[in-house]
Chain A
């Protein structure tokens, strides 16, 4: 049976307290890192583990860290991306609410590796309990010498601050998050320069997702070979999968990277409600193109899903059953992207507004001849032409819906009503 590592403490009573975390071996990896490894050796260890970022893009974490200049005349920063705005995704919230010290230990080791003295956890403002627990955990860790000056007797001085977001999905995009942290409207920045060279306050900055950072103490404690022994060679490690929608057991599951999507949905999450069949699954949050039921025999890892025309993204798996209208689902997803567009670039700002109007018309049974071609044209105009991935995510998702469920859109137009109502 697969051993849960990242979620080990989440169901433990008082799992958010330092005493619980220490009783389970917490902060020993930090002590090991500070006494047995140089910063470069930690980076090398994470590189050898082949940990890929769990925020969505899957960029190799050790390589990202190695881009930070060794010598810089400015302070270096670590930013933890805890904005988690991708619909269907809730993994980071549960970790922060129920095991915040795991995150703090991961942040401290990662900051040691890149040479940062200050980290900011950018956490969405809605997560009030997670914010409270994280602030409490930081205070506990500071009082015990896991944060602050000369940590555990070493020369490492380091502190973590919590920075609350205020309700903008675009802050999940790392450069928009930096703008937001600097007190500006969150809009993505032109790259290069990349944050590793010029990020927060134009200083070298590493931005990692919560789940990425909580993998780090376990890699230090158990070694790179242990991490690489789990899941596929090119995307190894334990993985948190969020399952929601029309399944019997929605929830957060820790399983090996690469587990078949069908096994995750049907065995672990219990399959569809009684009397219903699965029609489709969105595998990685609403940015990830939808997969029809016939495509569920696919491994849940970065490369396999990319080869299947979709993506792992945030691993926010949303299950849709056969009583649901896919035009409604597609419309709601595009309404989300339209609402959350930061407005910086025209294809996203204007294109999504146009798409929403056409989709709402079709859904209401008022579709016109040529609407399908217009949607195809709009997807083409948005995809690849936007400043950041928000527009791409919207267009990719809609393209997949149009490709796999085109007959439902056409039926709405031809029957001049929703066939599901």
Chain B
């Protein structure tokens, strides 16, 4: 099914096309990875709604990304329940091993590191969402194992990342 068909099917659930903007943006983001201006305009055109309405939503809700994110978006929860179970140590560790600060994407485009408000999984704090999946009861060893599994999913990129991390001139 094309993006247009998916959006049109989602829009059938509502008596007003404007209600379909959020579902349409979620569909468009899953297709394109993020939501640049031309994609927002395409969504507006498919639904036949004002473009500004689409821009309004894409910039208000935190799950929409108007800028590119890495292949794996690491979203570490640092709200109270996770904070009480040392999520800040995990953030420091992630910043060290990925050699980036939060809010930044690694040079190889593999990882974007973010902190997010409560993921609603406080019973397994500290928690991190990667793509569709939650990873709970995290500690440094589990974080390292998770990163290794993610890297193994893209072997070429992992090799490129290792090469890029080597000091120049060696």
**Contact indicator B85/A246 (Cβ below 8 Å):** yes
Point out the residues of chain B lying under 8 angstroms from A318, CB to CB. Answer: 80-81, 84, 122
Partner of B120, one of A93, A251, A282: A93
**Contact indicator B117/A250 (Cβ below 8 Å):** no
Partner of A169, one of B19, B64, B117: B117
**Contact indicator A168/B120 (Cβ below 8 Å):** no
Q: How far is the CB of B60 from chain A (nearest CB, A)?
A: 4
**Contact indicator B22/A180 (Cβ below 8 Å):** yes
B118 interface contact, C-beta 8 A: yes
Partner of A166, one of B57, B80, B84: B57
Compute how far the CA of A329 lies from the CA of B78 in the bound complex, rounded to whole angstroms.
11
B162 interface contact, C-beta 8 A: no
A124 interface contact, C-beta 8 A: yes
Compute how far the CA of A336 lies from the CA of B122 in the bound complex, rounded to whole angstroms.
15
Also in contact, A244 and B125, with CB within 8 A (given A324-B84, A336-B79): yes
Also in contact, A183 and B63, with CB within 8 A (given A126-B120, A164-B26): no
How many residue pairs link A and B with beta carbons under 8 A? The number is 141
Compute how far the CA of A286 lies from the CA of B119 in the bound complex, rounded to whole angstroms.
14
Chain A positions 77-92 with a Cβ under 8 Å from a chain B Cβ = 84-90, 92
A161 interface contact, C-beta 8 A: yes
Also in contact, A185 and B85, with CB within 8 A (given A85-B120, A167-B62): no
**Contact indicator B62/A168 (Cβ below 8 Å):** yes
Q: How far is the CB of B42 from chain A (nearest CB, A)?
A: 16
Compute how far the CA of A251 lies from the CA of B121 in the bound complex, rounded to whole angstroms.
9
**Contact indicator B21/A183 (Cβ below 8 Å):** yes
Point out the residues of chain A lying under 8 angstroms from B78, CB to CB. Answer: 332
Contact surface of B with A, Cβ cutoff 8 Å: 13, 15-23, 25-26, 49, 53, 56-57, 60-64, 78-81, 83-85, 116-125, 129, 132-134
Contact surface of A with B, Cβ cutoff 8 Å: 84-90, 92-94, 124-129, 161, 163-169, 180-186, 201, 242-246, 250-252, 282, 286, 316, 318-320, 324, 328-329, 332-333, 336, 339-340
- 8 extra interchain contacts, Cβ-Cβ under 8 A, other than A127-B120, A339-B117? A129-B132, A167-B63, A181-B19, A183-B19, A184-B18, A184-B57, A186-B60, A244-B84
